[in-house]
Amino acid sequence: MENQELLKQVTEKAQKWLSPAYDANTQAEVKRMLENEDKTELIECFYKDLEFGTGGLRGIMGAGSNRMNIYTVGAATQGMANYLNKCFAGQGQISVVVGHDCRNNSRKFAEISADIFSANGIKVYLFDDLRPTPEVSFAIRHLGCQSGINITASHNPREYNGYKAYWDDGAQVLAPHDTAIIDEVNKVTIDDIKFQGNKELIQIIGKEVDDVYLEKVHSISIDPEVIRRQKDLSIVYTPLHGAGRTLIPDSLKVWGFENVHCVEAQMVKDGNFPTVVSPNPENAEALSMAIALAKEIDADIVMASDPDADRVGMACKDDKGEWVLINGNQTALIFLYYIIKNRIATGKMQPNDFIVKTIVTTELIKAVADKNKIEMRDCYTGFKWIAREIRLSEGKQQYIGGGEESYGFLAEDFVRDKDAVSACSLLAEICAWAKDQGKTLYDVLMEIYLEYGFSKETTVNVVKPGKSGADEIKAMMENFRANPPKEIGGSPVSLIKDFKTLKATDAAGQQSDLDMPETSNVLQYFTADGTKISVRPSGTEPKIKFYIEVKGEMGCPKCYASATAAADEKVKAVRASLGI
């Protein structure tokens, strides 16, 4: 009965897309779905409207209310325009930045969005071609805009596209603006969308913003002298066909690195990502061409940015000379270790400096901060929450770095989203600093483990696509709440944090409040042996994520392999306990 009711609802919704307000191609696609005996595709495309999650609007491209197309993008932009005109009424000319990445339809969606904003009397600064997401964030602040959008689906597969919405501080939209924009978007009908732009209100921007941005990025270099000594550091870089190609090689050059080798086949702008299975720098396969080049030229470091150049993946040689990937937790750890250690060494550290990590990111970062007496803050997943911490302390305390396990890092405060342009440049400096001491990036990581303790982090993604998947994910979270585990991996659970109720419960059943800005559908379990488990549904993809961190012993620099093997066994036990 429930399925019949759902089918009736989606059919009525889809039939509205057969009106002349929609173009012929869209109508034909919807008609095909309606006439198909198998209604699975129809339901997937229309059972809901795309919603803003931790990364904004994101979905598969195609016809339907639950797909990325000119109408869902148009409704989002019209809703944003309506909200901006309400929020900033009487404050003079409202302006926005519009950017995009390399994906199929990205330029088209960006130009349509620019037209809609301008048709609503809003001035648009439209980038002349693809640009990194962090530059869009920078441009909003630099140009004094009230908002901005970037058309990108980040590291998602090629069939996806997305829409990141930013506010006047250059950060992705937070409450109350996120829900208020959704309310405005939900009011928009197809007839409300003003597709006919006002060209007089659209200004094309490009190199003039690039130059200022790159200059600002260069200002965060901590030890320029070490770069001068190691300017021949051999770097291999790949943008994975994306926006990093426009600025990251230039940024490395500005910083003083003269021996940068780009993977030429992946320097080609292409939304089909022909040389990789998935354009995700978390995946070893995505770095395979870069590592092959690194072996050929005996490079010091491999770095890769995702399609919108806000995340960086890296690989380096281990103590046996084999190329190994550095994971997202290790990446954030290395960056913050270097920033803290070398700000102290160069006399740049101030008493009011602070760093930020997300609650699912390695606790070793807290160990580094505590030992060096640096304030560290925990926040929710998504860089908008790190940006919120920067905003709250603006003018009072200085943000010096923050990261998350999903390969995002931000070393500066003039951008309010993760930034692969500055991260790649700073990574090269860290490698130069290590090489100056006869060490590698791998050696630095081993030194961190020896000084601050060893941990192994593993993320398990349980993918559940579509309407049925969303229901399964909801049921899994409800079951974890109703039946919390007493032990995980053989160790008793000593603390449970439920960010939906904002309550922490210890082993004795005593409760305390969690100090967070709002509720979030996240559960955390801490065990007596130091294991941390975080469980949350993804805000941008159809999956439930399990973040596992286990502690271990590493008595010497050569003990990494044995410590990792022991940790892997512990992770297996944890997964067995959780049924994943």
Nearest to 21 by CA among 196, 193, 182, 187: 193
According to the model, what pLDDT value does residue 465 have?
85
Residues comprising the chain, all counted:
580
Q: Last residue of a domain, which of 145, 180, 205?
A: 205
Query: CA 255 → CA 230, 234, 338, distances in Å?
Result: 11, 14, 17
Q: What gap in Å lies between CA 27 and CA 337, rounded to an integer?
A: 55
Does 408 share its domain with 505? no
The answer to whether 407 and 330 have CB atoms below 8 angstroms apart is no
According to the model, what pLDDT value does residue 1 have?
40
Does some domain include residue 158? Answer: yes
Q: Last residue of a domain, which of 433, 452, 471?
A: 452
Condensed to tens digits (0 to 9), the pLDDT of residues 36-55 reads: 999 999 999 999 888 765 55
Does 434 share its domain with 504? no
Q: What percent of the chain has pLDDT over 70?
A: 98
Does 410 share its domain with 353? yes
User: What's the pTM value of the predicted model, to 2 decimals?
Assistant: 0.94
Does 320 share its domain with 429? yes
Considering only residues 573 and 58, tell me which one the structure prediction assigns the higher pLDDT: 573
Residue 103 backbone phi and psi in degrees, to 5:
-65, 155
Does some domain include residue 58? Answer: no
Condensed to tens digits (0 to 9), the pLDDT of residues 233-282 reads: 999 999 999 999 999 999 999 999 999 999 999 999 999 999 999 999 99
Q: How many distinct structural domains can be found in the chain?
A: 4
Q: What gap in Å lies between CA 417 and CA 134, rounded to an integer?
A: 6
Condensed to tens digits (0 to 9), the pLDDT of residues 456-472 reads: 999 999 998 887 888 89
Does some domain include residue 25? Answer: yes
According to the model, what pLDDT value does residue 286 have?
97
According to the model, what pLDDT value does residue 2 have?
55
Condensed to tens digits (0 to 9), the pLDDT of residues 118-170 reads: 999 999 999 999 999 999 999 999 999 999 999 999 998 999 999 999 999 99
Q: Last residue of a domain, which of 153, 174, 205?
A: 205
pLDDT, average across residues 343-371: 97
Q: What gap in Å lies between CA 103 and CA 68, rounded to an integer?
A: 12
**Which DSSP symbol is given to 439?**
-
Q: What gap in Å lies between CA 102 and CA 130, rounded to an integer?
A: 6
Which residue intervals of 88-132 are DSSP H helices? 106-119
Token digits of residue 522: 């996240």
Condensed to tens digits (0 to 9), the pLDDT of residues 162-186 reads: 999 999 999 999 888 988 888 898 8
pLDDT, average across residues 379-398: 96
Condensed to tens digits (0 to 9), the pLDDT of residues 306-322 reads: 999 999 999 999 999 99
Does 195 share its domain with 224? no
The single-letter code of the amino acid at 146 is Q
According to the model, what pLDDT value does residue 221 have?
98
Does 448 share its domain with 482? no
Does 176 share its domain with 280? no
Nearest to 71 by CA among 134, 23, 103: 23
pLDDT, average across residues 559-572: 96
Condensed to tens digits (0 to 9), the pLDDT of residues 447-456 reads: 999 999 999 9
pLDDT, average across residues 371-396: 96
Q: Which residue of the set 118, 154, 221, 455 is catalytic?
A: 154
Quick one: which H or E segment has residue 569?
helix 560-578
Condensed to tens digits (0 to 9), the pLDDT of residues 401-431 reads: 999 999 999 999 999 999 999 999 999 999 9
Structural domain span for residue 21: 1-47
Distance in Å from the first CA to the final CA of the chain: 32
Query: CA 281 → CA 101, 161, 242, 276, distances in Å?
Result: 16, 17, 12, 10
Q: Is residue 386 scored above 90 in pLDDT?
A: yes
Q: What gap in Å lies between CA 529 and CA 489, rounded to an integer?
A: 10
Asked about 393 being catalytic, the answer comes back as: no
CATH number at residue 557: 3.30.310
According to the model, what pLDDT value does residue 57 have?
84
Does 182 share its domain with 318? no
Peptide bond into 465 cis (omega under 30): no
Does some domain include residue 462? Answer: yes
Three-state SS string over 133-195 comes to: HHHHHHHHHHCCCCEEEEECCCCCCCCEEEEEEEECCCCECCCCHHHHHHHHHHHCCHHHCCC
Query: CA 254 → CA 81, 227, 423, distances in Å?
Result: 37, 11, 14
According to the model, what pLDDT value does residue 52 have?
63
Q: What gap in Å lies between CA 64 and CA 43, rounded to an integer?
A: 9
Sheet hosting strand 123-127, strand order edge to edge:
57-60, 160-167, 147-151, 95-100, 123-127, 202-205
The single-letter code of the amino acid at 368 is V
For 304, the 3-state DSSP assignment is strand
What are the residues facing 549 on neighbouring strands?
457, 532
Which of the residue ranges 110-124, 404-418, 551-565 would you say has the lowest mean pLDDT?
Answer: 551-565
Does 172 share its domain with 222? no
CATH number at residue 384: 3.40.120.10
Does 401 share its domain with 500? no
Does 163 share its domain with 232? no
**Which DSSP symbol is given to 223?**
-
Q: What gap in Å lies between CA 440 and CA 433, rounded to an integer?
A: 9
Q: Are strands 95-100 and 147-151 parallel, antiparallel or unpaired?
A: parallel
